[in-house]
């Protein structure tokens, strides 16, 4: 069996502004029902990436790391899909084995109508979303170095034909 498989996209991202710009461009390729799973250490840039998505989707409200809430809905200001921003960090057990807690959020209800981003969703969101973008942000050991490595892996039939395109920083 031969089937189309979208290739991962990798970028070196020198600044937070460029991280937002890449996500903003990616937002133009997203539609209701899409799911993005963001992985990476604390401070890597997952929320920064989500801010760019929010800008691209033209949604209401500041996108921050939620302290007390696990999920926040940002309605569209332009008639497009809302952005559902989930931070699964507090779901405990570093995501694994907490499927029931994610189920409690009743995300299935919103998945259809929104673009859903799950920070710390690795191990959780996979079961929920066979079609998704797995996005990994990594930083080096040097805390003063702002450079990040970004890897976007399209998974599932949704992305098989189109793949993802990121033209920002096309030179790297
Ligand atoms: P996370 O959600 O992964 O814990 P945040 O996005 O909240 O991380 O924080 C990332 C921090 O790193 C922000 O203060 C951001 O301004 C900073 N930063 C510096 N360089 C970059 C970069 N290249 N990409 C993303 N964030 C960066
Ligand atoms: Mg965060």
Number of C-beta neighbours around residue 157 at 10 A: 11
| pLDDT tens by residue, 88-109 | 777 654 444 455 555 666 666 5
Helix axis angle for 16-27 and 46-57, nearest 10°, is 40
Domain boundaries, given as residue ranges, for the chain: 9-159
pTM: 0.89
Distance 118 CA to ligand 2 centre (A): 10
ipTM of the complex: 0.99
| Closest ligand 1 atom to Cα of 41 | 3
Give the CATH superfamily of 9-159. Answer: P-loop containing nucleotide triphosphate hydrolases (3.40.50.300)
Non-local CB neighbours of 37 within 8 Å, separated by 6+ positions: 118, 121, 122, 125, 126, 129, 132, 133, 134, 135
Task: For residues 45 and 77, give the distance between their C-alpha atoms in angstroms, rounded to a whole number.
Answer: 25
Who surrounds ion ligand 2 at CB < 5 A? Answer: 46-47, 65, 119
Please write the tens of the pLDDT for every residue from 37-82.
Answer: 999 998 999 999 999 999 999 999 999 986 666 788 999 999 999 9
């Amino acid at each position: 069996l031969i089937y189309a498989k979208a290739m991962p996209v990798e970028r070196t991202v020198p600044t937070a502004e460029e991280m937002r710009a890449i996500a903003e461009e990616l937002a133009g390729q997203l539609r209701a029902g899409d799911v993005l799973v963001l992985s990476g250490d604390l401070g890597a840039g997952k929320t920064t990436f989500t801010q760019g998505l929010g800008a691209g989707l033209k949604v209401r409200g500041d996108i921050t790391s939620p302290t007390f809430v696990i999920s926040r809905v940002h309605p569209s200001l332009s008639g497009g899909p809302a952005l559902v921003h989930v931070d699964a960090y507090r779901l405990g057990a570093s995501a694994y084995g907490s499927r029931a807690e994610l189920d409690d959020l009743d995300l299935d209800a919103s998945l259809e109508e929104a673009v859903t981003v799950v920070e710390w969703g690795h191990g959780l969101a996979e079961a929920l979303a066979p079609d998704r973008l797995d996005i990994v942000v990594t930083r080096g050991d040097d805390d003063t170095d702002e450079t990040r490595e970004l890897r976007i892996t399209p998974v599932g039939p949704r992305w098989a034909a189109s793949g993802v395109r990121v033209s920002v920083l096309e030179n790297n």
